[in-house]
Structure 1
């Protein structure tokens, strides 16, 4: 399988192209609240992606709006969207997956969707620097990883919305990644209704203080408390729905997913240092 995937990537990258990206086929199947996406075509799978929704409505292959491309490692427009020169595409998987549900497709979901991207094109190692990144169409990519597992590589994360995904090698200093995730989550909580902020900000402050003194267990416990509180307030004080019509702000889902990826990076800091 690994040789076949390498041949697929090599063939597509070496083929004459008129643009900086080469579309590749996808097959989408839906069962209940789960969608599976095979990227690369029958017999030439480059990656498979599983989307597991908390609670989806109108979920079909068409309503997801999935496409995939092999992109150039030197595309300046794409590189400008990455957070740092210390994040990069691996030549074995220059894959950009777009999930952009059509506005009239009828898709909506509550809270979060878990994204599991599995590929044999990459090799897993303990302490792997591979991460799952997400961006709005044409926007900046940010790390949403909450697990990297063998198989050969499984990059997993949760999100309160869509649209574009990359697996990148990220060799930034872990402490700076943690701080950026704290800043992102704080901004997301600050955008929530004023009545909902105090308990969330108190736990976030506690987590940040705990990281400063290297009490990582306490920090992660505070982030678990944020996730539990946001889940409990979902659909009450916090909006908790994403809709293809883009007329709702999934506050609970974004806070839950932001706390999950921050917890992952704190655990990585604990286990592997900077």
Structure 2
């Protein structure tokens, strides 16, 4: 048996991604985007002179108002994968690895007077053939406020060649990168965010959600992954039931509303993904 055949699929992927670092991408440059909107779904196609369909971004809103190409405020940019300022925005620049084969930052910054608003969540998918899929892929979808810190919002990594999916209760910037942190560290960070979001829920609604979050965290700590996922399902169901009634659930381009319900749902979704990943692939 050859040495190459002994490598796991994930190891082979990482080796291939490392080789991509030699590709001669130019440093930061803007790319053209074409935006189309149908109902609650916006599709953004990002092109290069050599690859007219370099990437496609799909945004599926639960319930949008004033959605149009102009109101989204979408832009795309190739970034320098070794830029210290960009690496400093990642949780750990030594193990959060931007890929030279896909050094794309997508920015969604709706203009304040553009009229866009939505309730609950937006389901985000970044699709590209520049990266390859394997089971257990370390590729993840990260999100940050403009010039702020990035965090993992991944709900799913699917083939085709890569479809990185996540959920958000707001915007602005997105990256697809390889996250080589220990899964247990990722889960711990996501539980911390979930607990912070629960603490922002109106006091009258907080108790049951706190119980669900605590139950999920305790079950996870004991290795009872199915129980942890069930508790997150209960939390999501409670949020969906009370969203817009007792838990604020609207995002507006004027930035004068807090979409707590949307952020809670997004937080539970990505935590669900990481717990499932640890169950299936280990730490």
Question: Among residues 82, 100, 119, which one is paired with 1:74 in the alignment?
Answer: 82
Given the alignment of the two structures, is residue 174 of structure 1 paired with residue 183 of structure 2, yes or no?
yes
* Cα pair 1:27 1:41 within 8 Å, conserved: no
Aligned to 2:229: 220
* Cα pair 2:59 2:124 within 8 Å, conserved: yes
* Cα pair 2:37 2:43 within 8 Å, conserved: yes
Question: Among residues 10, 18, 30, which one is paired with 2:37 in the alignment?
Answer: 30
Counterparts in 2 of 1:19-168, with a 5 A limit? 20-40=27-47, 44-84=52-92, 85-168=94-177
Give the aligned CA root-mean-square deviation in angstroms: 1.3
* Cα pair 1:26 1:41 within 8 Å, conserved: no
Compute the displacement of 1:45 (Å). 1.3
Compute the displacement of 1:265 (Å). 0.2
Compute the displacement of 1:10 (Å). 5.6
Aligned to 1:4: none
Tell me, which stretches of 5 or more residues in structure 1 are unaligned? 1-8, 15-19
* TM-score, with structure 1 as normaliser: 0.93
* TM-score, with structure 2 as normaliser: 0.90
Counterparts in 2 of 1:5-20, with a 5 A limit? 13-14=25-26, 20=27
Runs of 4+ in 1 over 3 A off after TM superposition: none
Compute the displacement of 1:83 (Å). 0.5
Tell me, which stretches of 5 or more residues in structure 2 are unaligned? 1-21
Aligned to 2:9: none
